[in-house]
């Protein structure tokens, strides 16, 4: 979501620093919906301000770390499967 889009949803302006945090939480928080997330984060901001969004950062960081770990494990699995195919004489 672009900063201008968020500002339009909240009918106000936010500084770049705050928006960076808002966007991070919007992107990584595990219960922010992929379909309704823009409205969810806007409602949180309007109702509770930056305090609630700042409080959400640690869980968002944990989610980002887990997603990155999962991607790495999935890539490792693909690599191992390719090695098994190669040993069997199959095309990877």
The whole-number average pLDDT for the span 63-76 is 98
pLDDT confidence of residue 92 = 55
Residues 9, 69: Cα–Cα separation, whole Å: 33
The whole-number average pLDDT for the span 35-57 is 97
Asked whether the beta carbons of 56 and 29 are under 8 A apart, the reply is yes
Residues 38, 62: Cα–Cα separation, whole Å: 21
Asked whether the beta carbons of 1 and 45 are under 8 A apart, the reply is no
Asked whether the beta carbons of 47 and 10 are under 8 A apart, the reply is no
pLDDT confidence of residue 91 = 73
Nearest Cα to 9, choosing from 32, 30, 40?
40
Question: Does this model's pTM top 0.75?
Answer: yes
Supply the mean pLDDT for the chain.
96
**Left (φ > 0), alpha (ψ -120 to 50) or beta: where does 14 sit?**
beta
pLDDT of 65 higher than 60: yes
């Amino acid at each position: 979501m672009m900063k201008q889009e968020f500002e339009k949803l909240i009918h106000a302006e936010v500084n770049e620093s705050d928006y960076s945090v808002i966007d991070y939480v919007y992107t990584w928080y595990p219960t922010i919906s992929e379909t309704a997330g823009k409205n969810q984060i806007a409602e949180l901001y309007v109702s509770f301000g930056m305090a609630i969004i700042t409080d959400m950062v640690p869980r968002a960081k944990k989610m980002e770390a887990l997603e990155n770990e999962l991607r790495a494990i999935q890539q490792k699995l693909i690599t191992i499967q390719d090695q098994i195919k190669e040993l069997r004489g199959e095309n990877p």
